[in-house]
Structure 1
């Protein structure tokens, strides 16, 4: 039903500036103009990662709900988990000018937002209100954290964000791979990421220790979100740091600064990070390499280019325990997760897998 409605209104949406269209969607969901209720999930899709029970492995990636405004509305569209953010310690407007471009001919998106954020105050206030309402039973929620553009101590920003969100979410993502914040991707080099991870993990432990007096202290898993443009040496370095420091998981990957020669849209050379269908191959190969270098010991969320159930299945077989999407919603509507789940369940059964977990890393033999 929601896909049909979206197909009817999409021509009008395409007339809007892409960022305005996105904001209109969020406001509509926030005000209850759309009240989706997805049907129960196929039992074959249920999975457990980090001791958390996911009703299905299809999640909403960071970027759609930057300010934690519509988490539960998105669960209504059938997502098994929703990741809010990226949030920064202090409010910041992000980059100026046009910052979002639809590449309709390529089913791709380029963004150059630059971590536009309302800051931790409103973000945590919404998360806290949600927990107090009893809504957490609807699904797993993650918070994606970043640094302020002008910060001279990136690790301190991540520590601040972690301390604020850790008691309120099920997992925390340390985003070190957005191409739209100057110097951020440099944190993926071995020495910087090793130092950053050490401080973030210590901050998580301090936060958990301070909460021991509470009835249910939170010690959420920490994930690193890395980009798809890493070479094999960089992947190996990050894998070794993750294994040595005890990071709980990875998200592979973020948007890419590369531009495939097959792009046809007039926006193909716009500045920013490319996502959507053109990213699928690059991101999946990086995921495959990361799974190989970690020996499958660290759960990975596969992100980047998922536009079908076949794409989600390919991520899982390459080594992803869970899968995220976002850009595909621009071209297929917010109810697209239901289609992906249906097709994924068929593919699992076709190949004789009894669960998502059984299929993880299947391509590696």
Structure 2
């Protein structure tokens, strides 16, 4: 019998699949739709200390090969998601809380509040928010990332994870992994956030398709699958004591299987979930199970990290 269930940080997941933070998780209604779906878990919207309306519309546009967005972290503030986490039925599904403070102090305050609530929610610290004007990504500043992880590790006494942007240079994989490996509390690495600062142009209107940042935004969907797989595999190889969550370009069972082979323990779905809705998880589970059965794997754990090189 083939099973999709797995364990992660001591919790049981019926499926490795769940939403990418930012997708279908803005409020309780959207989160509850994920809870009712065939996903194995769910993650809240990346939250800031105070509620944010985000960037002006249009800020998300679907394209033939995926999507482009510059959302600007719209969210209801961490208190809203903490209240949701307090009321969540963890016997149904594990819950991740995504934290994306605009400063070190903001992140410390939020993780301290989550710590004090003593919940089984798993924290994903977002170090890769490219869509806040004037704010650099922490994960592209290795000294700043080191300071952030040192401070959060000192404040938060449980394992947590980090959401990372894509890296494109082998030296940067090495440098980032060196920082991450200094902190045993960093238990998992989510790869990747969108590929930032892309530009999509409508040739009929001769203009950009999203309003913020003069049309520059993050790519998701088919565009980013090979980059996501490279990042998953790079950190799987360089951080053997940590788990990796794959994210990027997933819209079929084959794509999930690729992420597992590259080293992912769990897999998030972004653009395809936005376009297809929560019903996508039942389809993806069925497609993944069929691949595992055809290849003779009894579980997803047998697949993880088995990618062969030439």
TM-score, reference length from structure 1: 0.75
Tell me what 1:146 maps to.
Answer: 100
Separation in 1, partners of 2:32, 2:100: 23
Decide whether the 8 Å contact of 1:102 with 1:267 is kept in 2: no
Q: Give 1:112 deviation, angstroms.
A: 1.0
Aligned pair in 2 of structure 1 residues 60, 97: CA closer, same or farther (>3 Å)?
Answer: closer
Q: Are positions 1:56 and 2:15 aligned together?
A: yes
Q: Deviations over 1:60-81 (max 9, x none)?
A: 1111213454333212210001
Q: Give 1:364 deviation, angstroms.
A: 4.4
Q: What is the 5 A alignment of 1:84-99?
A: 84-99=44-59
For structure 1, which runs of at least 5 residues remain unmatched after alignment? Answer: 1-41, 149-153, 206-218
Q: What is the 5 A alignment of 1:231-250?
A: 231-246=169-184, 247-250=186-189
Separation in 2, partners of 1:119, 1:228: 26
Q: Give 1:94 deviation, angstroms.
A: 1.9
Aligned counterpart for 1:137 among listed residues 76, 91, 94 = 91
Separation in 1, partners of 2:127, 2:28: 20
Structure 2 residue matching 1:138: 3-state secondary structure: coil
Q: What is the 5 A alignment of 1:201-240?
A: 201-205=153-157, 219=158, 221-240=159-178
Q: Are positions 1:75 and 2:14 aligned together?
A: no
Aligned counterpart for 2:251 among listed residues 300, 307, 330 = 307
For structure 2, which runs of at least 5 residues remain unmatched after alignment? Answer: none
Alignment length (residue pairs): 298
Over aligned residues, Cα RMSD in angstroms? 2.5
Structure 1 residue matching 2:179: 3-state secondary structure: helix
Decide whether the 8 Å contact of 1:66 with 1:87 is kept in 2: no
Q: Give 1:259 deviation, angstroms.
A: 4.4
Structure 1 residue matching 2:219: 3-state secondary structure: strand
Tell me what 1:39 maps to.
Answer: none
TM-score, reference length from structure 2: 0.88
Runs of 4+ that moved beyond 4 A: 258-261, 263-266
Aligned pair in 2 of structure 1 residues 273, 288: CA closer, same or farther (>3 Å)?
Answer: same
Tell me what 2:6 maps to.
Answer: 47
Aligned pair in 2 of structure 1 residues 260, 101: CA closer, same or farther (>3 Å)?
Answer: closer
Aligned counterpart for 2:224 among listed residues 275, 279, 300 = 279
Q: Are positions 1:354 and 2:298 aligned together?
A: yes
Identify the structure with the greater helix proportion: 1
- Bigger Rg, which one: 1
Q: Give 1:169 deviation, angstroms.
A: 4.6
Tell me what 1:29 maps to.
Answer: none
Separation in 1, partners of 2:283, 2:290: 11
Aligned pair in 2 of structure 1 residues 319, 143: CA closer, same or farther (>3 Å)?
Answer: same
